[in-house]
Amino acid sequence: MNMIEDVGSVRTQRLLEHFGSLEKIFKASQAELEKVKEIGLRIASNIIKGIKEIDLKKELELIRTRGVKVVTFLDNDYPKNLKNIYDPPVALYVKGKILPRDNLAIAIVGSRLASFYGLQTAERFAFELASRGVTIVSGLARGIDSASHKGALKAKGRTLAVLGSGIANVYPEEHIELAEEISGKGAVISEFPMMTIPDKGNFPKRNRIISGLSLGVICVEAADRSGALITCDIALEQGREVFAVPGKVDSATSKGTNRLIKQGAKLVGDIDDIIEELELCLQDSCEASRESRLAKQNKLAPELDKCESLVYNLLSSEPRYIDELCEESGIGLSRISGILINLEIKKLARQLPGKKFARSEGK
């Protein structure tokens, strides 16, 4: 269905609602297909022709040899954010992995002909957000897109690249190596069949996936008629947040972003502006990290006696004076000194200058 011309997500959903299953769609006559809302004669004819003529074996072989997985909108592991847009892609070709943690994602988009300021800003924002556990989504294009992916990779974070071509036909060609690196630290994604060329009409469709995968979109640099502005318009339609980085008033690549700010996009000076706007989402991420730390502590608990456990729980990453630990625990100075030595031996505590102690994450 995904490979049949002009069918798309909305029409596929109409067909499923009408027939109840894909199997029944494939067995339906042209006359039966024509009766479905939004199908009609031309689309029904395309479906009948496509079922007969599409070389699915060749496509499946390409998918297999290129190490690609196909996820459909009927599958449980289809990205949650994307599933909630009006027209989610019927199928996603995925090289790499899309993980549940990628629901906490921000898209960074902008000009292909970016200035040094724009490239530096995109890479820095991506690095800092990825360092905090946010997945960076972009389109693998030259300029702002590639700088954003590189920033996330430098932070050893997650990044998703959405193509306007097939995965076996990565565009631009100079980013083939970057796409490989991304697939090892995130995923390269396309809704288009494997060998699809980067046709101009594919990119607006690609842009709805970039914004659809994300909680918000940051536009770093954009000229007046930039594709990045299309992504921002789609993001607003999808109910996503739109952020814009201000630029020089006489810069052609800042006209679009400055206009976005005039129209109500949130001005971004640093990532704290984004975190403030999406605070709830980032708190959810912090909560997951906190639960992970608690699980780790619980795992350590059997190795500690009652007094060791009490002192360990008073420690944190912030250094604390030994006198404070004595007062709060009710344990004498000589005894607590021995307990802290034991915690150091177990690599659960570390001593700092000035008789201060902090929790160690070494174990």
> Which 3-state string (H, E, C) describes 293-349?
HHHHHHHHHHHCCHHHHHHHHHCCCCCEEHHHHHHHHCCCHHHHHHHHHHHHHCCCE
**Tokens 């842009």 correspond to what residue?**
207
Question: Closest by alpha carbon to 187, among 169, 161, 214, 165?
Answer: 161
What average pLDDT does range 12-31 have in this prediction? Answer: 92
Distance CA 95, CA 2 (A): 18
Asked if residue 28 has pLDDT above 90, the reply is yes
Same fold, 80-281 and 304-359: no
Quick one: pLDDT at residue 290?
Answer: 47
pLDDT over 80 (residue 172): yes
| pLDDT(192) > 90 | yes
3-state secondary structure at position 280: helix
Nearest residue to 227 via CA among 102, 81, 113: 113
- CATH topology for 1-54 is DNA polymerase; domain 1 (1.10.150)
Of residues 36 and 287, more confidence is placed in: 36
What is the mean predicted confidence (pLDDT) over 62-89? 92
* pLDDT reading at 139 higher than 60: yes
pLDDT tens profile 201-244: 899 899 999 999 999 999 999 887 778 888 999 998 998 989 99
- Measured N-to-C along each axis, helices 144-154 and 116-131 cross at an angle, to the nearest 10 degrees, of 40
For residues 80-96, average pLDDT: 92
Taking CA atoms, 69 is separated from 138, 155, 251, 285, in Å, by 20, 26, 42, 27
Residue 215: per-residue pLDDT: 92
Q: Which residues contact 74 (CB under 8 A, 6 or more apart)?
A: none
Give the per-residue pLDDT at 284: 46
Alpha-carbon distance values, 238 to 86, 87, 215 (Å): 8, 10, 10
Check whether 289 has a pLDDT greater than 50: no
Cα–Cα distance for residue pair 7/1, rounded to 1 Å:
7
**Of 227, 170, 160, 230, residue with least CA distance to 196:** 170
Q: Which residue has the tokens 């630990």?
A: 325
Phi and psi at 317, nearest 5°, equal -70, -20
In angstroms, rounded to a whole number, what is the distance separating the alpha carbons of residues 356 and 334?
Answer: 15
Confidence at residue 103, expressed as pLDDT on a 0 to 100 scale: 92
pLDDT band at 279 (very low <50, low <70, confident <90, very high): low
Per-residue pLDDT at 198: 93
One-letter amino acid of 95? K
Contact 277, 216 (CB under 8 A): yes
The least confident of 265-274, 295-304, 341-350, 353-362 is 295-304
Question: Quick check: 305 pLDDT over 70?
Answer: yes
- Mean pLDDT, rounded, for 81-104: 93
- Give the three-state DSSP class for 267: strand
What would you measure as the largest C-alpha separation in the chain, in angstroms?
90
Q: State yes or no: pLDDT of 283 exceeds 60.
A: no
In this structure, of 39-53, 124-138, 321-335, the range with the lowest mean pLDDT score is 321-335
pTM over 0.75: no
**CATH number for the 80-281 domain, one of 3.30.300.180, 3.40.50.720, 3.40.50.450, 3.40.718.10?**
3.40.50.450
Closest CA to 154 of 178, 175, 138, 173: 178
pLDDT attached to residue 144: 95
Alpha-carbon 34 to chain mean position:
38
Q: What percent of the chain is modeled with pLDDT above 90?
A: 51
Q: Domain locations in the chain?
A: 1-54, 80-281, 304-359
Cβ-Cβ contacts under 8 Å for 90 (sequence gap 6 or more): 1, 2, 7, 8, 9, 12, 72, 73, 191
Does residue 68 register a pLDDT over 70? yes
Q: How many residues does the chain have?
A: 363
Q: List, in order, residues 6 or more apart from 301 with CB less than 8 Å away.
A: 309
pLDDT tier at 361, thresholds 50, 70, 90: low
**Predicted pLDDT at 293:** 46
Q: Is residue 296 predicted with pLDDT exceeding 70?
A: no
CATH 3.40.50.1480 fits 304-359, yes or no: no
Compute the average pLDDT of residues 278-291. Answer: 50
pLDDT of residue 212: 95
User: What is the Cα–Cα distance from 319 to 352, expressed in whole angstroms?
Assistant: 7
Q: Is the dihedral of CA 172, 177, 182, 188 positive or negative?
A: positive
What pLDDT is stored for residue 301 in this prediction?
Answer: 47
User: Would the pLDDT of 287 be above 60?
Assistant: no
Please confirm whether the linkage preceding 172 is cis (ω < 30° from 0): yes
